[in-house]
Structure 1
Amino acid sequence: MMSPSRLLLGVSAGVLLFLSLPMIAVIWLSFSPTELLSFPPSGLSLRWYADFFVSDRWVMATRNSLLVGGATMAVATLLGTAAALGLHLGQFRGRALLLALLTLPMVTPFIVTAASMFFAFSLVGLAGTLPGLVLGHTVVAVPFVLVSVLASLATFDATLLRAASSLGATPWMAFRRVLLPRIWPGVAAGAVFAFATSLDEFVITLFLAGPGQFTLPRQMYANVREYMTPTILAAASLLFAVSVLLLLLTEALRRR
């Protein structure tokens, strides 16, 4: 009779395989040598990956995604870490309510968030601009940083900050030399999540981005609507590879 642990391992492996099969098929098809897609492909070729790296549209979309993702990661990490510190160390009423409000973008449908941002940003001239797009991505990325840093702060002994203060350390010195070295894995994991969220975001980008601000998800959508080529499969495979690398990086940081 199979032991419960082996049964659980087998079921988990089966679920993982079921979830991975569509992406495995996409990766396999991305090496198709012809525009006419058939599964399995008639051969293997890097033609569409080469097209991805030489096409002006795809290169521009990749550059925009990296630029917006990097800016979003920086802003969201700063704001999320500051909010987590305030919620964890502050003594005031309504902390639970404030935490619920700060994490609300995680559960609010993105179409609602995107539509609200479009009308609000249009009033102040941020719709269709790069700063507006970064702010839009930051709104949905901050909760991931907040949750990650709060998880690290849960194991931090606040008496260390009081000890540092009694020894003459300024608040900034205590943060930099006492607090940050102990919670940096949570901060780094939150930053990775913020970058991944921005890299994958499509709905908010569709509402807020201008004509020259195509990101990878938006370019993939345009490729499907206008003239679908297997290049989109190469782009999807590369995004999947980046997502897996970010997931492994986050897991490595979590183990720290």
Structure 2
Amino acid sequence: MALPTHASPLERIWHYAYLVICAAIFIFLIAPILVILPLSFNAEPYFTFTEKMLHFDPAGYSTRWYDTLLTFGHAAPDGVRDGSWWSTAWETSTWINAAKNSFWIGFWATILATFLGTLAALGLSRPEMPFRRTIMAILISPMIVPIIITAVGMSFFYAKACLAPDSGIGALLAPILSNKGCLANSDLGVIMAHATLGIPFVIITVTATLTGFDQSLIRASASLGANPRTTFFRVIMPLILPGIISGALFAFVTSFDEVVAVLFIAGPQQQTIPRQMFNGIREQISPAILSVATILVIVSILLLTTVELLRRRSERLRGVTPR
């Protein structure tokens, strides 16, 4: 907001001091990210700026660590990069397999979290819903409780939650269960854990969208002869869709970045990007981690931009024009 012309000297001083404080906080929050970006192009295997980098010598910069993401774990990293080389990289590269696992788990965790979170938000938005505050507090508790407590609890629960492989459900879920038919060390266990952590974000986002929803539209739809299913898909769904997509994006980011739950629940086959980064820091420190971090920052910026565009669209649909 611009400073009015009739502002007093004290108001002007506070106005500029406020801008300086906001800028300082922004720099404090964004500085670690700004440091990571150039370090990912370091030609040397260090986590610090070299003399060549500080003097902007082209020899001090390289994309070797981005190339490592393709060659680490490859059987012939220095071979000719033809179709067979890329096919082998897709199958054997450690970082590529971690990315595939992250997207696979994140996709299904997002679907599950979005479905359950949207249903919960629709129920909690109804005025006749009893104990709304208590239920809301329970549903968003995974966001409040320290993640290590949640992960330990899930680890103990999944160790006991097993299905007989010869049973109907056990045979159906066999591809995503562990060899013993248990949730521990299985894709399904990690997906359910990530969905549990993502549901609160979906509930909060969809509930915020439903706050400005005109309930008279539902009554008008019913008065015109529409059944509840038609009312939901033709009236409610289009208006709250931006909130649902925003919640789904938050759930996906939560799943994509989660490492604590994976360390407690996942097995050797569920090697996600955050877990691979954790192993890289613990076992062998490589600037390739900075390359992955840079890519994740870019992806996060794109997702946040999408969320902001969806928020503005939601406000326009509800008749609230953002200024």
Q: TM-score, normalised by structure 1?
A: 0.95
**Does residue 27 in structure 1 map to residue 40 in structure 2?**
no
In structure 1, list runs of 5 or more residues that go unmatched: none
- How far does residue 41 in structure 1 lie from its aligned partner after superposition? 6.0
For the structure 1 residues 181 and 116, does the alpha-carbon distance in structure 2 shift closer, same or farther, using more than 3 Å as the test?
A: same
Q: Which residue of 1 aligns with 2:227?
A: 170
User: Relative to 1, partners in 2 of residues 1:178 and 1:94: Cα closer, same or farther, differing over 3 Å?
Assistant: same
Which of 196, 210, 214 is 2:267 aligned to?
210
For 1:14, the equivalent position in structure 2 comes to 24
Q: Which SS does the other structure have where 1:115 is aligned?
A: helix
Q: Is contact 1:65–1:199 with CA below 8 Å preserved after alignment?
A: yes
Q: Are residue 148 (structure 1) and residue 205 (structure 2) matched?
A: yes
**Which structure has the larger Rg over C-alpha atoms?**
2
2:61 is the alignment partner of 1:44: yes
| Cα distance in 1 between the residues matched to 2:310 and 2:50 | 38
- Offset, 1:120: 0.5
Amino acid at match of 1:47: R
Is the 2:42–2:49 Cα contact (8 Å) retained in structure 1?
A: no
Deviations, residues 12-54 of structure 1 (Å, cap 9, x unaligned): 1221111211221121111001213432463111110111133
Mapping 1:89-104, distance limit 5 Å = 89=126, 91-104=128-141
Percent of matched pairs sharing the same residue: 41
Give the TM-score normalised by the residue count of structure 2.
Answer: 0.76
Counterpart Cα distance in 1 of 2:65 and 2:190: 29
Q: Compare 23-32 and 188-197 and name the one that shifted more.
A: 23-32
Q: Which has the higher contact order (CA 8 A, sep 6+)?
A: 1
Quote the Cα distance in structure 2 between the aligned partners of 1:247 and 1:127: 32
Shift of 1:238: 1.0
User: For residue 69 of structure 2, what is the amino acid of its counterpart?
Assistant: F
Shift of 1:3: 5.1
CA distance in 2, matches of 1:176, 1:141: 24
- The verdict on how the C-alpha distance between 1:41 and 1:184 changes in structure 2, with shifts beyond 3 A counting, is farther
3-state DSSP of counterpart to 1:157: coil
- What's the offset of the Cα at 1:255? 1.5
Is 1:106 equivalent to 2:116 in the alignment? no
DSSP 3-state at the match of 1:229 = coil
Task: Check the 8 A contact 1:128/1:210 in 2, yes or no.
Answer: yes
* Amino acid in structure 2 at the alignment position of 1:53: L
Q: Structure 1 CA distance, aligned partners of 2:249 and 2:96?
A: 22
Judge conservation of contact 1:29–1:40 (CA < 8 Å) in 2.
no
Structure 1 pair 140–146 and aligned structure 2 pair: CA distance change class (3 A)? same
**Contact 2:118-2:202 at 8 Å conserved across structures:** yes
Distance 1:189 1:3, change over 3 A: farther
Rounded to whole Å, the distance in 1 between the matches of 2:51 and 2:148 is: 36
Q: Deviations over 1:104-159 (max 9, x none)?
A: 11100000000000110111110100011000001010000000000000011112
Hey, what's the Cα distance between the residues in 2 that align with 1:218 and 1:234?
15
C-alpha distance in 1, partners of 2:257/2:45?
26
Cα drift, residue 8 of structure 1 = 2.4
Find the aligned partners of 2:21 and 2:51 in 1 and give their Cα distance.
30
The number of equivalent residue pairs is 256
Amino acid at match of 1:13: A
What is the CA distance between 1:81 and its match in structure 2? 0.5
Contact 1:29 1:41 (C-alpha < 8 Å) held by counterparts: no
What amino acid maps onto 1:23 in structure 2? I
- Aligned 8 A contact 2:123 2:129 in 1: no
Would the aligned equivalents of 2:110 and 2:248 in 1 still touch at CA under 8 Å? yes
Which amino acid in structure 1 is aligned with residue 204 of structure 2? V
- Counterparts of 2:241 and 2:47 in 1: how far apart (Å)? 46
Distance 1:169 1:117, change over 3 A: same
Distance 1:169 1:232, change over 3 A: same
The residue aligned with 1:199 is: 256
Determine which of 222, 242, 245 is the counterpart of 1:188.
245
> d(CA) in 2 for partners of 1:213 and 1:193?
21
In structure 1, how many angstroms separate the alpha carbons of the residues matched to 2:221 and 2:239?
14
